[in-house]
Amino acid sequence: MKIIYFCALEDIPLEKYPSHCRLLRELGTPSMPGSDEYGSYINAVSGREMLLVIRDYVKMQLMSEIRASPFYSLLIDESTDRTIHKHLIIYILYITNGGKGHVKCDFVELLAVENGSAKCIYDVVTKFLSDNMLDMHKLIAIATDGASVMIGHKTGVVARFQESVPYIMGVHCIAHRQALAAKDGFVTHPHVYAFVDKVANKVYSWLGKSSKRHDELWKIMSEYDMLDVKALQIHSVRWLSRGQVMERLVNMMPAILQQWEQSEKKWYKKITIFSVQFMIHFLADVLKELNKLNMEFQRHEMDVTSISAMLDLTIEKLKRRYLDVDANNFGLNSPYLSSFLKMAKDFELLYEDANGDSHVHALRCEPIPNAKYNGSLDECISMAKVYVTNILDSLNKRFEDISVYNAFKVFSPSSYPPDAYDREKMTLEWLNRVINRLNVDSRMVDIRKCINEREDFVGMLYRTAQHKSMHDSWRSCSVITSWWDTYPEMMRLWQASLVIPASTSSCERGFSRQNFIKNMCRSSLGLDTLDALMLLSIDARGSLSIDWKIVFDMWMNAKRRRAMPLE
Protein backbone atom coordinates (compact mmCIF):
# COMPACT_ATOMS: atom_id res chain seq x y z
CA MET A 1 0.00 0.00 0.00
CA LYS A 2 2.85 2.37 0.76
CA ILE A 3 4.21 1.67 -2.72
CA ILE A 4 0.88 2.73 -4.22
CA TYR A 5 0.87 5.87 -2.08
CA PHE A 6 4.42 6.64 -3.20
CA CYS A 7 3.36 6.23 -6.85
CA ALA A 8 0.44 8.63 -6.32
CA LEU A 9 2.65 11.25 -4.65
CA GLU A 10 5.29 11.05 -7.37
CA ASP A 11 2.79 10.89 -10.28
CA ILE A 12 4.00 7.43 -11.31
CA PRO A 13 1.48 5.41 -13.41
CA LEU A 14 -0.16 2.48 -11.63
CA GLU A 15 1.14 0.21 -14.40
CA LYS A 16 4.57 0.65 -12.82
CA TYR A 17 3.36 -0.68 -9.47
CA PRO A 18 4.16 -4.39 -10.25
CA SER A 19 7.69 -3.52 -11.39
CA HIS A 20 8.28 -1.54 -8.17
CA CYS A 21 7.17 -4.60 -6.19
CA ARG A 22 9.54 -6.86 -8.12
CA LEU A 23 12.43 -4.48 -7.56
CA LEU A 24 11.82 -4.38 -3.80
CA ARG A 25 11.57 -8.18 -3.74
CA GLU A 26 14.90 -8.46 -5.55
CA LEU A 27 16.44 -6.05 -3.06
CA GLY A 28 15.37 -8.33 -0.23
CA THR A 29 12.71 -6.06 1.27
CA PRO A 30 10.86 -7.98 4.02
CA SER A 31 7.13 -8.80 3.82
CA MET A 32 7.06 -8.74 0.01
CA PRO A 33 5.03 -11.41 -1.87
CA GLY A 34 7.18 -14.26 -3.13
CA SER A 35 5.50 -14.49 -6.55
CA ASP A 36 3.54 -12.50 -9.11
CA GLU A 37 0.38 -14.63 -8.85
CA TYR A 38 -2.96 -12.81 -8.95
CA GLY A 39 -3.60 -13.46 -5.25
CA SER A 40 -0.37 -11.70 -4.32
CA TYR A 41 -2.01 -8.32 -5.07
CA ILE A 42 0.89 -6.87 -6.97
CA ASN A 43 -0.95 -6.21 -10.23
CA ALA A 44 -2.31 -2.90 -11.51
CA VAL A 45 -5.95 -3.85 -10.76
CA SER A 46 -5.17 -4.54 -7.11
CA GLY A 47 -3.06 -1.41 -7.06
CA ARG A 48 -6.05 0.67 -8.14
CA GLU A 49 -8.21 -0.89 -5.39
CA MET A 50 -5.59 0.07 -2.81
CA LEU A 51 -5.36 3.58 -4.28
CA LEU A 52 -9.11 4.12 -3.89
CA VAL A 53 -9.04 2.88 -0.31
CA ILE A 54 -6.19 5.25 0.58
CA ARG A 55 -8.17 8.05 -1.10
CA ASP A 56 -11.24 7.17 0.96
CA TYR A 57 -9.22 7.23 4.18
CA VAL A 58 -7.62 10.61 3.43
CA LYS A 59 -10.97 12.05 2.36
CA MET A 60 -12.62 10.69 5.50
CA GLN A 61 -10.03 12.47 7.65
CA LEU A 62 -10.38 15.63 5.58
CA MET A 63 -14.18 15.71 5.75
CA SER A 64 -14.14 15.06 9.47
CA GLU A 65 -12.00 18.15 9.97
CA ILE A 66 -14.15 20.26 7.63
CA ARG A 67 -17.37 19.20 9.39
CA ALA A 68 -15.82 20.29 12.70
CA SER A 69 -15.22 23.80 11.34
CA PRO A 70 -17.98 26.24 12.40
CA PHE A 71 -17.94 27.87 8.94
CA TYR A 72 -16.61 27.01 5.51
CA SER A 73 -16.63 28.34 1.95
CA LEU A 74 -16.59 26.63 -1.44
CA LEU A 75 -14.22 27.40 -4.32
CA ILE A 76 -15.57 25.88 -7.53
CA ASP A 77 -14.58 25.97 -11.18
CA GLU A 78 -15.28 23.91 -14.26
CA SER A 79 -12.93 22.80 -16.98
CA THR A 80 -12.48 20.27 -19.76
CA ASP A 81 -9.68 17.72 -19.63
CA ARG A 82 -7.57 16.38 -22.49
CA THR A 83 -10.26 13.88 -23.49
CA ILE A 84 -12.98 16.58 -23.68
CA HIS A 85 -14.70 15.46 -20.46
CA LYS A 86 -16.26 18.24 -18.37
CA HIS A 87 -15.20 18.31 -14.73
CA LEU A 88 -16.08 20.45 -11.73
CA ILE A 89 -13.34 20.93 -9.18
CA ILE A 90 -14.16 21.71 -5.54
CA TYR A 91 -11.90 23.22 -2.90
CA ILE A 92 -13.07 24.06 0.61
CA LEU A 93 -11.77 26.91 2.78
CA TYR A 94 -12.20 26.13 6.49
CA ILE A 95 -10.64 26.51 9.93
CA THR A 96 -8.79 23.55 11.40
CA ASN A 97 -8.94 22.27 15.00
CA GLY A 98 -12.69 22.73 15.32
CA GLY A 99 -12.53 26.40 14.39
CA LYS A 100 -9.60 27.35 16.64
CA GLY A 101 -6.71 26.45 14.33
CA HIS A 102 -5.33 27.99 11.16
CA VAL A 103 -7.24 28.66 7.94
CA LYS A 104 -6.77 25.97 5.30
CA CYS A 105 -7.88 25.54 1.68
CA ASP A 106 -8.04 21.90 0.55
CA PHE A 107 -8.93 20.09 -2.65
CA VAL A 108 -11.77 17.70 -1.85
CA GLU A 109 -13.17 16.24 -5.07
CA LEU A 110 -13.24 16.25 -8.85
CA LEU A 111 -16.78 15.72 -10.12
CA ALA A 112 -18.22 14.91 -13.53
CA VAL A 113 -20.79 17.31 -14.99
CA GLU A 114 -23.05 16.46 -17.93
CA ASN A 115 -23.07 20.03 -19.20
CA GLY A 116 -22.03 23.47 -18.09
CA SER A 117 -25.52 24.75 -17.19
CA ALA A 118 -26.14 26.43 -13.83
CA LYS A 119 -28.77 23.84 -12.87
CA CYS A 120 -26.42 20.94 -13.57
CA ILE A 121 -23.58 22.49 -11.55
CA TYR A 122 -25.96 23.38 -8.71
CA ASP A 123 -27.31 19.82 -8.58
CA VAL A 124 -23.81 18.34 -8.59
CA VAL A 125 -22.60 20.60 -5.77
CA THR A 126 -25.69 20.10 -3.59
CA LYS A 127 -25.37 16.33 -4.01
CA PHE A 128 -21.70 16.58 -3.02
CA LEU A 129 -22.63 18.51 0.15
CA SER A 130 -25.35 15.99 1.01
CA ASP A 131 -23.18 12.92 0.35
CA ASN A 132 -20.43 14.30 2.59
CA MET A 133 -22.83 15.47 5.31
CA LEU A 134 -21.72 19.09 5.08
CA ASP A 135 -24.21 21.49 6.69
CA MET A 136 -25.26 24.07 4.08
CA HIS A 137 -26.11 26.53 6.87
CA LYS A 138 -22.40 26.70 7.71
CA LEU A 139 -21.62 27.68 4.13
CA ILE A 140 -20.56 31.35 4.15
CA ALA A 141 -19.41 32.03 0.57
CA ILE A 142 -18.96 30.51 -2.88
CA ALA A 143 -16.02 31.74 -4.95
CA THR A 144 -16.09 31.35 -8.74
CA ASP A 145 -14.30 32.63 -11.83
CA GLY A 146 -17.09 35.13 -12.51
CA ALA A 147 -18.65 33.36 -15.50
CA SER A 148 -22.30 34.27 -16.03
CA VAL A 149 -23.35 30.67 -15.40
CA MET A 150 -21.83 31.00 -11.92
CA ILE A 151 -22.83 34.52 -10.83
CA GLY A 152 -25.91 35.24 -12.97
CA HIS A 153 -28.36 37.27 -10.86
CA LYS A 154 -31.44 35.18 -11.65
CA THR A 155 -30.44 31.60 -12.46
CA GLY A 156 -26.68 31.46 -11.73
CA VAL A 157 -25.23 28.84 -9.41
CA VAL A 158 -24.73 31.31 -6.54
CA ALA A 159 -28.26 32.71 -6.99
CA ARG A 160 -29.70 29.18 -6.74
CA PHE A 161 -27.86 28.62 -3.45
CA GLN A 162 -29.07 31.98 -2.15
CA GLU A 163 -32.66 30.87 -2.70
CA SER A 164 -32.10 28.24 0.00
CA VAL A 165 -29.60 30.13 2.17
CA PRO A 166 -29.95 33.89 1.52
CA TYR A 167 -26.81 34.97 3.39
CA ILE A 168 -24.40 32.98 1.17
CA MET A 169 -21.92 35.43 -0.33
CA GLY A 170 -20.91 35.20 -3.99
CA VAL A 171 -17.25 36.01 -4.62
CA HIS A 172 -15.80 36.83 -8.04
CA CYS A 173 -12.14 35.74 -8.04
CA ILE A 174 -9.89 38.81 -7.77
CA ALA A 175 -7.18 37.24 -9.95
CA HIS A 176 -9.70 36.72 -12.76
CA ARG A 177 -10.97 40.28 -12.32
CA GLN A 178 -7.47 41.70 -12.53
CA ALA A 179 -6.71 39.62 -15.65
CA LEU A 180 -9.88 40.92 -17.33
CA ALA A 181 -8.91 44.49 -16.44
CA ALA A 182 -5.51 43.96 -18.08
CA LYS A 183 -7.26 42.82 -21.27
CA ASP A 184 -9.54 45.87 -21.23
CA GLY A 185 -6.52 48.05 -21.97
CA PHE A 186 -6.39 46.67 -25.52
CA VAL A 187 -9.93 47.79 -26.39
CA THR A 188 -8.62 51.03 -27.92
CA HIS A 189 -6.20 50.72 -30.88
CA PRO A 190 -6.60 46.92 -31.18
CA HIS A 191 -4.71 46.79 -34.51
CA VAL A 192 -1.57 48.19 -32.89
CA TYR A 193 -1.47 45.65 -30.06
CA ALA A 194 -2.41 42.80 -32.41
CA PHE A 195 0.58 43.68 -34.61
CA VAL A 196 2.91 43.80 -31.58
CA ASP A 197 1.60 40.36 -30.52
CA LYS A 198 2.21 39.12 -34.06
CA VAL A 199 5.86 40.26 -33.93
CA ALA A 200 6.35 38.66 -30.50
CA ASN A 201 4.85 35.35 -31.61
CA LYS A 202 6.93 35.45 -34.79
CA VAL A 203 10.10 35.45 -32.69
CA TYR A 204 8.85 32.31 -30.93
CA SER A 205 7.80 30.46 -34.10
CA TRP A 206 10.86 31.52 -36.12
CA LEU A 207 13.25 30.16 -33.49
CA GLY A 208 11.16 27.12 -32.63
CA LYS A 209 11.24 25.73 -36.15
CA SER A 210 15.00 25.52 -36.46
CA SER A 211 17.74 24.30 -34.14
CA LYS A 212 20.22 26.05 -36.43
CA ARG A 213 18.59 29.42 -35.80
CA HIS A 214 18.51 28.76 -32.08
CA ASP A 215 22.23 27.90 -32.10
CA GLU A 216 22.98 31.09 -34.03
CA LEU A 217 20.96 33.11 -31.54
CA TRP A 218 22.75 31.45 -28.63
CA LYS A 219 26.14 32.44 -30.07
CA ILE A 220 24.99 36.06 -30.45
CA MET A 221 23.57 36.06 -26.91
CA SER A 222 26.88 34.79 -25.56
CA GLU A 223 28.55 37.78 -27.20
CA TYR A 224 26.30 40.04 -25.13
CA ASP A 225 26.85 37.95 -21.95
CA MET A 226 23.16 37.01 -21.94
CA LEU A 227 21.76 33.91 -20.35
CA ASP A 228 20.57 31.22 -22.74
CA VAL A 229 16.85 32.00 -22.45
CA LYS A 230 14.14 30.88 -24.84
CA ALA A 231 11.51 33.01 -26.54
CA LEU A 232 7.98 32.58 -25.17
CA GLN A 233 4.62 32.38 -26.90
CA ILE A 234 1.54 34.43 -25.99
CA HIS A 235 -1.31 32.24 -24.68
CA SER A 236 -4.68 33.96 -24.49
CA VAL A 237 -5.92 31.76 -21.62
CA ARG A 238 -2.91 32.29 -19.37
CA TRP A 239 -3.09 35.31 -17.10
CA LEU A 240 0.61 36.22 -17.04
CA SER A 241 1.51 35.16 -20.57
CA ARG A 242 1.70 38.44 -22.49
CA GLY A 243 3.72 40.26 -19.83
CA GLN A 244 6.26 37.45 -19.58
CA VAL A 245 6.58 37.33 -23.37
CA MET A 246 7.23 41.08 -23.66
CA GLU A 247 9.74 41.10 -20.83
CA ARG A 248 11.62 38.15 -22.31
CA LEU A 249 11.56 39.80 -25.74
CA VAL A 250 13.06 43.03 -24.38
CA ASN A 251 15.86 41.10 -22.71
CA MET A 252 16.60 39.22 -25.94
CA MET A 253 16.19 42.26 -28.19
CA PRO A 254 19.90 42.96 -28.99
CA ALA A 255 20.45 39.38 -30.14
CA ILE A 256 17.13 39.20 -32.05
CA LEU A 257 17.84 42.42 -33.94
CA GLN A 258 21.35 41.32 -34.87
CA GLN A 259 20.16 37.91 -36.06
CA TRP A 260 17.16 39.22 -38.02
CA GLU A 261 19.29 41.93 -39.64
CA GLN A 262 21.32 39.15 -41.23
CA SER A 263 18.76 36.36 -41.71
CA GLU A 264 15.22 37.74 -41.70
CA LYS A 265 15.11 41.07 -43.54
CA LYS A 266 11.30 41.20 -43.79
CA TRP A 267 10.66 40.90 -40.06
CA TYR A 268 13.72 42.98 -39.19
CA LYS A 269 12.04 45.82 -41.06
CA LYS A 270 8.85 45.35 -39.03
CA ILE A 271 10.51 45.04 -35.63
CA THR A 272 12.56 48.19 -36.18
CA ILE A 273 9.47 50.38 -36.59
CA PHE A 274 9.75 52.92 -33.76
CA SER A 275 6.19 52.44 -32.49
CA VAL A 276 6.61 48.65 -32.37
CA GLN A 277 9.73 48.98 -30.21
CA PHE A 278 8.02 51.61 -28.06
CA MET A 279 5.01 49.38 -27.44
CA ILE A 280 7.09 46.28 -26.69
CA HIS A 281 9.08 48.15 -24.01
CA PHE A 282 5.97 49.92 -22.70
CA LEU A 283 3.95 46.71 -22.40
CA ALA A 284 6.87 44.94 -20.73
CA ASP A 285 6.80 47.61 -18.00
CA VAL A 286 3.04 47.90 -17.49
CA LEU A 287 2.30 44.19 -17.67
CA LYS A 288 5.18 43.48 -15.29
CA GLU A 289 3.40 45.56 -12.63
CA LEU A 290 0.04 43.91 -13.37
CA ASN A 291 1.64 40.46 -13.23
CA LYS A 292 3.14 41.27 -9.81
CA LEU A 293 -0.33 42.23 -8.60
CA ASN A 294 -1.84 39.06 -10.05
CA MET A 295 0.80 36.89 -8.38
CA GLU A 296 -0.06 38.49 -5.03
CA PHE A 297 -3.73 37.75 -5.67
CA GLN A 298 -2.87 34.08 -6.29
CA ARG A 299 -1.20 33.52 -2.92
CA HIS A 300 -2.30 30.41 -1.00
CA GLU A 301 -3.21 32.33 2.15
CA MET A 302 -4.62 35.59 0.86
CA ASP A 303 -5.23 38.29 3.48
CA VAL A 304 -8.35 40.03 2.13
CA THR A 305 -7.56 43.19 4.11
CA SER A 306 -4.45 43.79 1.98
CA ILE A 307 -6.23 43.73 -1.40
CA SER A 308 -7.00 47.44 -1.35
CA ALA A 309 -3.41 48.40 -0.46
CA MET A 310 -1.98 46.29 -3.29
CA LEU A 311 -4.45 47.75 -5.78
CA ASP A 312 -3.74 51.31 -4.63
CA LEU A 313 0.02 50.77 -4.93
CA THR A 314 -0.28 49.50 -8.51
CA ILE A 315 -2.68 52.27 -9.55
CA GLU A 316 -0.51 54.95 -7.96
CA LYS A 317 2.61 53.62 -9.69
CA LEU A 318 0.95 53.53 -13.12
CA LYS A 319 -0.46 57.03 -12.68
CA ARG A 320 2.88 58.44 -11.54
CA ARG A 321 4.79 56.92 -14.45
CA TYR A 322 2.39 57.36 -17.34
CA LEU A 323 -0.51 59.75 -16.61
CA ASP A 324 0.52 62.49 -14.17
CA VAL A 325 3.56 63.46 -16.28
CA ASP A 326 4.33 65.46 -19.40
CA ALA A 327 5.83 63.98 -22.56
CA ASN A 328 9.41 64.67 -21.41
CA ASN A 329 8.99 62.61 -18.23
CA PHE A 330 6.73 59.89 -19.63
CA GLY A 331 7.72 56.45 -18.34
CA LEU A 332 10.27 57.90 -15.92
CA ASN A 333 11.63 55.24 -13.52
CA SER A 334 10.06 52.41 -15.51
CA PRO A 335 12.74 49.73 -16.00
CA TYR A 336 12.42 49.16 -19.75
CA LEU A 337 10.66 52.11 -21.41
CA SER A 338 12.79 54.82 -19.77
CA SER A 339 16.04 53.20 -20.97
CA PHE A 340 14.53 52.71 -24.44
CA LEU A 341 13.50 56.37 -24.74
CA LYS A 342 16.96 57.53 -23.70
CA MET A 343 18.56 55.22 -26.26
CA ALA A 344 16.12 56.03 -29.08
CA LYS A 345 16.34 59.84 -28.95
CA ASP A 346 17.96 59.87 -32.38
CA PHE A 347 15.74 57.00 -33.61
CA GLU A 348 18.56 54.50 -33.16
CA LEU A 349 19.07 51.54 -30.88
CA LEU A 350 22.68 51.21 -29.78
CA TYR A 351 23.78 48.02 -28.03
CA GLU A 352 27.26 47.19 -26.86
CA ASP A 353 28.42 43.58 -26.65
CA ALA A 354 30.80 42.04 -24.11
CA ASN A 355 33.82 42.89 -26.28
CA GLY A 356 32.91 46.58 -26.37
CA ASP A 357 31.77 46.52 -30.01
CA SER A 358 28.75 48.69 -30.82
CA HIS A 359 25.76 47.49 -32.84
CA VAL A 360 23.44 50.19 -34.20
CA HIS A 361 19.91 49.57 -35.48
CA ALA A 362 18.05 52.45 -37.12
CA LEU A 363 14.41 52.91 -36.19
CA ARG A 364 11.88 54.01 -38.76
CA CYS A 365 9.07 56.43 -37.86
CA GLU A 366 6.23 54.97 -39.88
CA PRO A 367 2.75 53.68 -39.05
CA ILE A 368 2.03 50.09 -38.16
CA PRO A 369 0.03 48.34 -40.93
CA ASN A 370 -3.74 49.04 -40.69
CA ALA A 371 -3.20 51.67 -37.97
CA LYS A 372 -4.38 55.23 -38.60
CA TYR A 373 -1.55 57.29 -37.12
CA ASN A 374 1.92 58.45 -38.15
CA GLY A 375 3.93 56.47 -35.59
CA SER A 376 5.59 59.50 -33.95
CA LEU A 377 6.66 59.62 -30.30
CA ASP A 378 3.73 61.88 -29.41
CA GLU A 379 1.28 59.44 -31.02
CA CYS A 380 2.86 56.53 -29.13
CA ILE A 381 2.63 58.36 -25.81
CA SER A 382 -1.00 59.26 -26.53
CA MET A 383 -1.87 55.60 -27.23
CA ALA A 384 0.01 54.45 -24.14
CA LYS A 385 -1.88 56.92 -21.95
CA VAL A 386 -5.19 55.68 -23.30
CA TYR A 387 -4.11 52.09 -22.60
CA VAL A 388 -3.21 52.87 -18.97
CA THR A 389 -6.41 54.90 -18.51
CA ASN A 390 -8.48 51.96 -19.80
CA ILE A 391 -6.79 49.61 -17.31
CA LEU A 392 -7.27 51.93 -14.34
CA ASP A 393 -10.93 52.55 -15.22
CA SER A 394 -11.49 48.82 -15.53
CA LEU A 395 -9.77 48.09 -12.19
CA ASN A 396 -11.94 50.65 -10.41
CA LYS A 397 -15.07 49.26 -12.06
CA ARG A 398 -14.28 45.59 -11.44
CA PHE A 399 -13.27 46.17 -7.80
CA GLU A 400 -16.28 48.23 -6.74
CA ASP A 401 -16.74 45.92 -3.74
CA ILE A 402 -13.29 46.70 -2.34
CA SER A 403 -14.94 48.44 0.63
CA VAL A 404 -16.29 45.03 1.73
CA TYR A 405 -12.78 43.56 1.91
CA ASN A 406 -11.57 46.69 3.71
CA ALA A 407 -14.26 46.18 6.34
CA PHE A 408 -12.54 43.01 7.55
CA LYS A 409 -9.81 45.30 8.90
CA VAL A 410 -11.90 45.31 12.08
CA PHE A 411 -9.98 42.08 12.80
CA SER A 412 -6.62 43.42 11.59
CA PRO A 413 -4.96 45.56 14.32
CA SER A 414 -2.19 46.57 11.91
CA SER A 415 -4.86 48.60 10.07
CA TYR A 416 -6.17 50.40 13.16
CA PRO A 417 -5.70 54.18 13.32
CA PRO A 418 -3.36 55.13 16.20
CA ASP A 419 -5.77 57.79 17.49
CA ALA A 420 -8.36 56.31 19.88
CA TYR A 421 -11.23 58.45 18.55
CA ASP A 422 -10.47 57.53 14.92
CA ARG A 423 -10.06 53.88 15.91
CA GLU A 424 -13.47 53.89 17.59
CA LYS A 425 -15.12 55.50 14.59
CA MET A 426 -13.47 53.32 11.92
CA THR A 427 -13.91 49.96 13.66
CA LEU A 428 -17.60 50.67 14.26
CA GLU A 429 -18.02 51.53 10.58
CA TRP A 430 -16.09 48.41 9.53
CA LEU A 431 -18.10 46.15 11.84
CA ASN A 432 -21.43 47.46 10.52
CA ARG A 433 -20.21 46.90 6.97
CA VAL A 434 -19.14 43.30 7.75
CA ILE A 435 -22.47 42.57 9.44
CA ASN A 436 -24.45 44.00 6.51
CA ARG A 437 -22.42 42.13 3.90
CA LEU A 438 -22.25 38.75 5.60
CA ASN A 439 -25.87 38.92 6.75
CA VAL A 440 -25.32 35.73 8.75
CA ASP A 441 -28.09 33.85 10.46
CA SER A 442 -28.72 35.18 13.99
CA ARG A 443 -28.61 31.60 15.23
CA MET A 444 -24.96 31.42 14.17
CA VAL A 445 -23.76 34.87 15.30
CA ASP A 446 -25.64 37.19 17.63
CA ILE A 447 -25.24 40.57 15.90
CA ARG A 448 -26.49 42.61 18.87
CA LYS A 449 -23.91 41.05 21.17
CA CYS A 450 -21.21 41.60 18.52
CA ILE A 451 -21.89 45.34 18.58
CA ASN A 452 -21.80 45.37 22.38
CA GLU A 453 -18.50 43.45 22.50
CA ARG A 454 -16.83 45.48 19.76
CA GLU A 455 -15.36 48.36 21.81
CA ASP A 456 -13.53 46.18 24.36
CA PHE A 457 -12.60 43.62 21.71
CA VAL A 458 -10.94 46.26 19.52
CA GLY A 459 -9.19 47.84 22.51
CA MET A 460 -7.70 44.53 23.64
CA LEU A 461 -6.78 43.45 20.09
CA TYR A 462 -4.99 46.77 19.50
CA ARG A 463 -2.97 46.36 22.69
CA THR A 464 -2.11 42.65 22.45
CA ALA A 465 -1.65 42.16 18.68
CA GLN A 466 -0.63 45.60 17.45
CA HIS A 467 1.00 45.62 13.97
CA LYS A 468 -0.30 42.10 13.24
CA SER A 469 -2.50 41.17 10.28
CA MET A 470 -5.91 39.50 10.52
CA HIS A 471 -4.42 36.00 10.19
CA ASP A 472 -1.43 36.60 12.46
CA SER A 473 -3.56 38.12 15.23
CA TRP A 474 -5.97 35.17 14.91
CA ARG A 475 -3.11 32.74 15.55
CA SER A 476 -2.26 34.68 18.71
CA CYS A 477 -5.79 35.13 20.09
CA SER A 478 -7.55 31.90 19.07
CA VAL A 479 -5.49 29.78 21.48
CA ILE A 480 -6.31 32.00 24.49
CA THR A 481 -9.42 30.80 26.34
CA SER A 482 -10.22 34.22 27.80
CA TRP A 483 -10.90 35.64 24.34
CA TRP A 484 -13.62 33.04 23.75
CA ASP A 485 -15.09 33.61 27.21
CA THR A 486 -15.10 37.41 27.02
CA TYR A 487 -15.90 38.06 23.33
CA PRO A 488 -17.70 34.90 22.10
CA GLU A 489 -19.76 36.56 19.34
CA MET A 490 -16.91 38.68 17.96
CA MET A 491 -14.76 35.53 17.84
CA ARG A 492 -17.55 33.76 15.94
CA LEU A 493 -17.79 36.63 13.48
CA TRP A 494 -14.00 36.54 13.15
CA GLN A 495 -14.22 32.85 12.25
CA ALA A 496 -16.78 33.59 9.54
CA SER A 497 -14.61 36.40 8.16
CA LEU A 498 -11.53 34.18 7.97
CA VAL A 499 -13.18 31.76 5.53
CA ILE A 500 -14.22 34.47 3.05
CA PRO A 501 -12.26 33.53 -0.10
CA ALA A 502 -10.78 36.13 -2.41
CA SER A 503 -9.48 34.02 -5.29
CA THR A 504 -10.09 30.71 -7.05
CA SER A 505 -6.44 30.34 -8.05
CA SER A 506 -6.37 27.10 -6.01
CA CYS A 507 -8.86 25.65 -8.51
CA GLU A 508 -6.61 26.71 -11.39
CA ARG A 509 -3.65 24.99 -9.72
CA GLY A 510 -5.86 21.93 -9.25
CA PHE A 511 -6.66 21.81 -12.97
CA SER A 512 -2.96 22.16 -13.75
CA ARG A 513 -2.36 19.12 -11.55
CA GLN A 514 -5.21 17.31 -13.35
CA ASN A 515 -3.63 17.95 -16.76
CA PHE A 516 -0.21 16.94 -15.46
CA ILE A 517 -1.56 13.61 -14.18
CA LYS A 518 -3.91 12.93 -17.07
CA ASN A 519 -1.37 13.65 -19.78
CA MET A 520 -1.29 12.33 -23.35
CA CYS A 521 0.29 9.08 -22.18
CA ARG A 522 -2.37 8.53 -19.48
CA SER A 523 -5.42 9.87 -21.26
CA SER A 524 -7.54 6.80 -20.49
CA LEU A 525 -7.62 7.45 -16.73
CA GLY A 526 -11.14 7.16 -15.34
CA LEU A 527 -12.66 9.82 -13.10
CA ASP A 528 -12.39 7.77 -9.89
CA THR A 529 -8.72 7.03 -10.44
CA LEU A 530 -7.98 10.60 -11.52
CA ASP A 531 -9.78 12.00 -8.47
CA ALA A 532 -7.82 9.67 -6.16
CA LEU A 533 -4.48 10.54 -7.74
CA MET A 534 -5.25 14.28 -7.54
CA LEU A 535 -6.35 14.12 -3.90
CA LEU A 536 -3.28 12.21 -2.72
CA SER A 537 -0.90 14.28 -4.85
CA ILE A 538 -2.31 17.67 -3.78
CA ASP A 539 -2.91 16.68 -0.14
CA ALA A 540 0.62 15.21 0.19
CA ARG A 541 0.32 14.72 3.94
CA GLY A 542 3.02 12.05 3.93
CA SER A 543 3.10 8.37 4.79
CA LEU A 544 3.70 8.97 8.51
CA SER A 545 0.39 10.86 8.82
CA ILE A 546 -1.65 7.87 7.64
CA ASP A 547 -2.84 5.11 9.97
CA TRP A 548 -2.00 2.17 7.73
CA LYS A 549 -3.75 -0.34 10.01
CA ILE A 550 -7.08 1.45 9.44
CA VAL A 551 -6.39 1.64 5.70
CA PHE A 552 -5.59 -2.07 5.61
CA ASP A 553 -8.78 -2.94 7.50
CA MET A 554 -10.82 -0.80 5.08
CA TRP A 555 -9.21 -2.61 2.16
CA MET A 556 -9.79 -6.05 3.73
CA ASN A 557 -13.45 -5.32 4.43
CA ALA A 558 -14.16 -3.89 0.97
CA LYS A 559 -14.59 -7.42 -0.38
CA ARG A 560 -13.51 -10.99 0.30
CA ARG A 561 -9.72 -11.35 0.06
CA ARG A 562 -7.48 -14.40 -0.46
CA ALA A 563 -4.46 -14.76 1.77
CA MET A 564 -1.22 -15.77 0.01
CA PRO A 565 2.07 -16.80 1.66
CA LEU A 566 4.84 -14.22 1.49
CA GLU A 567 7.50 -16.85 0.68
> What's the pLDDT tens digit per position in 137-191?
999 999 999 999 999 988 899 999 999 888 899 999 999 999 899 889 888 888 8
3 state SS for 54-87: HHHHHHHHHHHHHHHCCCEEEEEEEEECCCCCEE
Whole-number average pLDDT of the chain: 89
**Helix (H, G, I), strand (E, B), or coil: what is residue 20?**
helix
Per-residue pLDDT at 27: 87
Is residue 457 pLDDT above 90, yes or no? yes
pLDDT at residue 562 tops 70: no
Residue 38 has a pLDDT of 58
Residue 563 Cα distances to 4, 97, 554, 558, angstroms: 19, 40, 16, 15
Question: For the chain, what percent of residues have pLDDT higher than 70?
Answer: 96
The DSSP call for residue 364 is B
Report whether pLDDT(564) > 60: no
**DSSP 8-class letter at 323:** I
Four-residue CA torsion sign, 255, 260, 262, 268: negative
* pTM of the predicted structure, to 2 decimals: 0.89
